[in-house]
């Protein structure tokens, strides 16, 4: 499928310019393609298993090469599994979601809100938060995506993730202990938030370091339940 060869889907800057609905459309395109099969294959259970597994392997290859919508798909398929031949693997789903989010996916953070929302609340409480807001044009419609990407970038480094390294792992490997995955992720929270704030401050322009005019720029409470499209009305099971 030529879609997998489009360079803009390998470029985190270009991909980040697309909105949530565009990211969703690209993900659905892969999800639908992965299960499409000619009738003579679809109605033969053995053939259909092999056919779909081959497509999942193909998507995995593109994901490992840096195709961001494919990375979204891998986070999805590992969380949901497929039939009785592609088992759930919550740890692998988490890894792919972090990789996709780090690369600018607006779908992946939705699946990590149990971790990301408390982490973002911790950033809200930082005394540096007002100046971070002022110099990054953070508002009610974009704060979740903006901060999630920074947090996931730090997670990506802390967990030593790499799309290329994912290719070395077994494609089919079961891990249905979701609680273990949540506990594993939670142990990173404090360290990751601290480093995310450090990174945000480090990237501020020089004048921001001595800018004292940051009082009353923003109230963190004003960013709760944003009016913009933060995906709160999305059926998380769809992605």
Three-state secondary structure of the chain: CHHHHCHHHHCHHHHHCCCHHHHHHHHHHHHHHHHCCCHHHHCCHHHHHHHHHHHHHHHHHHHHCCCHHHHHHHHHHHHHCECCCECCEHHHHHHHHHHHHHCCCCCHHHHHHHHHHHHHHHHHCCCCHHHHHHHHCCCCCCHHHHHHHHHHHHHHHHCCCCHHHHCCCCCCCCECCHHHHHHHHHCCHHHHHHHHHHHHHHCCCHHHHHCCCCCCCCCHHHHCCCCCCCCCCCCHHHC
pLDDT at 210: 67
Whether 153 shows a pLDDT value over 80: the answer reads yes
Where are the domains positioned within the chain? 8-238
Average pLDDT over all residues of the chain: 88
pLDDT at 216: 44
pLDDT at 220: 52
Over residues 52-80, mean pLDDT: 97
Taking only the tens place, the pLDDT of each residue in 132-150 is 988 888 888 889 999 999 9
């Amino acid at each position: 499928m030529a879609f997998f060869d489009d360079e803009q889907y390998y470029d985190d800057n270009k991909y980040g310019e697309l909105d949530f609905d565009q990211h969703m459309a690209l993900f659905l395109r892969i999800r639908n393609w992965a299960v499409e099969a000619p009738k003579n294959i679809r109605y033969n259970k053995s053939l259909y298993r092999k056919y779909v597994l081959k497509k999942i392997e193909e998507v995995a290859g593109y994901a490992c090469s840096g195709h961001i919508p494919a990375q979204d798909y891998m986070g999805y398929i590992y969380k949901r599994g497929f039939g009785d031949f592609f088992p759930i693997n919550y740890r692998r789903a988490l890894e792919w979601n972090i990789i996709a989010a780090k690369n600018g996916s607006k779908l992946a953070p939705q699946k990590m809100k149990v971790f990301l929302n408390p982490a973002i609340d911790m950033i809200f409480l930082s005394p540096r938060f007002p100046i971070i807001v002022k110099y990054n044009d953070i508002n009610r419609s974009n704060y979740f995506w903006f901060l999630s990407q920074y947090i996931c970038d730090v997670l990506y480094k802390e967990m030593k993730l790499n799309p290329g390294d994912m290719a070395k792992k077994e494609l089919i490997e079961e891990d249905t202990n979701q609680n273990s995955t949540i506990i594993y992720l939670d142990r990173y929270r404090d360290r990751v938030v601290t480093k995310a704030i450090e990174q945000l401050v480090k990237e501020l322009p020089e004048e921001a370091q001595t800018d004292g005019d940051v009082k009353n720029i923003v109230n963190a409470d004003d960013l709760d339940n944003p009016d913009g499209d933060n995906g709160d009305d999305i059926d998380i099971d769809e992605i």
